[in-house]
């Protein structure tokens, strides 16, 4: 679950980077605009993934290393 959330968060970050630098929304372009259902689902999944990744900041290091 952590890896999936991290991958989706990275995708979201890259998309925001492309919006900021090039004014190009890759997700909207791929899925038919910002208001398209698929785009909204992708945006929602990226947002939920970012919330999940916040938990990574507060986990014990030993848990991540499998000790």
The total of other beta-carbon atoms located within 10 Å of residue 60's CB is: 8
On the 0-12 / 13-18 / 19+ scale of CB atoms within 10 A, 31 is middle
Q: CA angle 29-34-36, nearest 5°?
A: 95
Q: Which residues of the chain have pLDDT under 50?
A: none
pLDDT value of residue 67: 55
pTM of the model: 0.79
pLDDT value of residue 13: 96
Cα–Cα distance, 12 to 7 (Å, whole number)? 9
């Amino acid at each position: 679950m952590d890896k999936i959330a991290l991958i989706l968060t990275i995708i979201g970050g890259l998309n925001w980077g492309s919006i900021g630098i090039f004014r190009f929304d890759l997700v909207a372009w791929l899925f038919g605009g910002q208001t398209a259902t698929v785009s909204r689902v992708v945006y929602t999944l990226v947002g939920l993934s970012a919330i999940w990744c916040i938990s990574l900041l507060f986990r014990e290091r030993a848990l991540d290393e499998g000790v």
